[in-house]
Amino acid sequence: MTITEKYRYAFLFCFFLLAKMLNAQTNKIAGKYNIYTGNTHAHTSYTWSHGEQIEKNNCKGIAVFDKDSTDDAIDTWKAGYVKIEACPAIIIIKSSQYPGPGLSLKAGWQKYQGDPVVHYKVAKENSYDFYVTTDHSQEYIFNPPDSLNKAWISTAKSAEAATNKDFVAIRGYEHSENDGPNGQGHINVINTATYLNALKPGIDLKYLYNWLKTVKPNGEGPVVASFNHPGPEQYNNWAYRDDSITNIITMLEVINSNNKIHYEGFINALDKGWKVSPVCGNDNHGLTGIANHTSRTFVLAENKTKAAILDAMKNRRTYASLEKNIQCSYTVNDNIMGSTIPSAKTYRFKININDPDINDASDKITKLDIITDSGKIAKTYTTKGEYTVTWNVSLPDEGSTYYFVRVWNAGGGDAKNADAKKPVAWLAPVWINR
């Protein structure tokens, strides 16, 4: 063998090794993340106007005393955005929300409701990796809105004290815009230094969106937000979107209150250009839902810290499931779910689904769907009923703007009234940059 031939073989061998190393790194893209489970929507005793602590009776609806008018008009009671029947369950005075005078507490109400400290404690006991408290900011205890408000500060301190290497507690609030005029809909605002009251005059969705672009985060991690329990045409039919707010409102509740599905709202939001990934907001107004609700938000995060959990939410590495421990991830052209990727002639999906409950036949994975624009099914894979499923498939470019994966299992999940004829999990989309 000549010296030239030796150099040629040495070069080819090194090239081969380099190619293998690069390929190995590419295959580890999904594997760099850990999967953590939690709840992105919870109400503590700071949401005192309604919740598990209150006895049920005939009081319904909302009565409003004035609406913070700036003129000299005489204050009068009027029907709120919910029709009043018998006696009002909630009253609003000067944009602050109170329980109606006809309501009473349950005996031993502390078993059913508690402050943020108690919520975080119960979440830890029930193996949540993270838990976000999102009380209504119009509750009287938070008014007037101020970064120095005692309840607001207390929630932040409670979250900080509850957070350790095994659990992440995060403060947020629910911006409840119920009466327009620039669009109705509730939004969870997470990790802001201060907050707004949606019932104050002029604090509509337009105002909120502009405020979110400038508000500072509360310590480490970004500000993120989520559309809550959306109707198909809510938020003024998904209006007021621009690139800046699209990069802050990065999530949407496909699952609310453990088993209510808002799939049509999810599809419409995506088709309107919102880049939102699915979450589950259990929306529990008390303690019992922490243990009883089995649906979860899942995040793909580098580690179990506040900054990493929020980074996963910001970058849309989330999924929602009616099954509390199903493990899901996928890449498209080696980009992790939640990514925006360049357009290509072919999109290579590598989908991995695993349920660790191998002794429960209802947890067997039965089907996977790849969904694209307008909710169209681009491809379906029917399994043989396995607990671990890997599906590698390529799709040609047909001009789609997004894809996401739906998962089905034999039992329909752990939530009440589970139905195997419906999906059990919805995974973050991948968007195509066109």
Which pair of tokens denotes residue 15?
């090239």
- Please give the angle made by the CA atoms of 297, 298 and 303, to the nearest 5 degrees: 130
- Of 96, 176, 178, 168, the residue nearest 133 (C-alpha): 168
**β-pair type (346-354, 388-396):** antiparallel
From the list 391, 344, 337, the residue with the least C-alpha distance to 366 is 391
Nearest to 119 by CA among 152, 162, 157: 162
Q: Which fold has domain 324-434?
A: Immunoglobulin-like (2.60.40)
Are 200 and 95 contacting, i.e. CB atoms less than 8 angstroms apart? yes
CA–CA distance from 326 to each of 36, 140, 339, 355 (Å)?
11, 39, 21, 5
Question: For domain 33-45+107-321, which CATH number applies: 3.30.365.10, 3.20.20.140, 3.40.50.1370, 3.40.640.10?
Answer: 3.20.20.140
Alpha-carbon gap, residue 294 to 308, rounded angstroms: 24
Kindly compute the dihedral angle of the four CA atoms of residues 180, 185, 189, 195, in this order, to the nearest 10 degrees. 20
CA distances from 409 to 37, 39, 282, 321, 326 (A): 19, 22, 21, 11, 10
Confidence (pTM): 0.91
pLDDT tens-digit profile, the chain (434 residues): 444 444 344 433 343 333 333 333 333 345 699 999 999 999 999 999 999 999 999 899 999 987 676 566 677 788 888 888 889 999 999 899 999 999 999 999 999 999 999 999 999 999 999 999 999 999 999 999 999 999 999 999 999 999 999 999 999 999 999 888 899 999 999 999 999 999 998 999 999 999 999 999 999 999 999 999 999 999 999 999 999 999 999 999 999 999 999 999 999 999 999 999 999 999 999 999 999 999 999 999 999 999 999 999 999 999 999 999 999 999 999 999 999 999 999 999 999 999 999 999 999 999 999 999 999 999 999 999 999 999 999 999 999 999 999 999 999 999 989 999 999 999 999 999 98
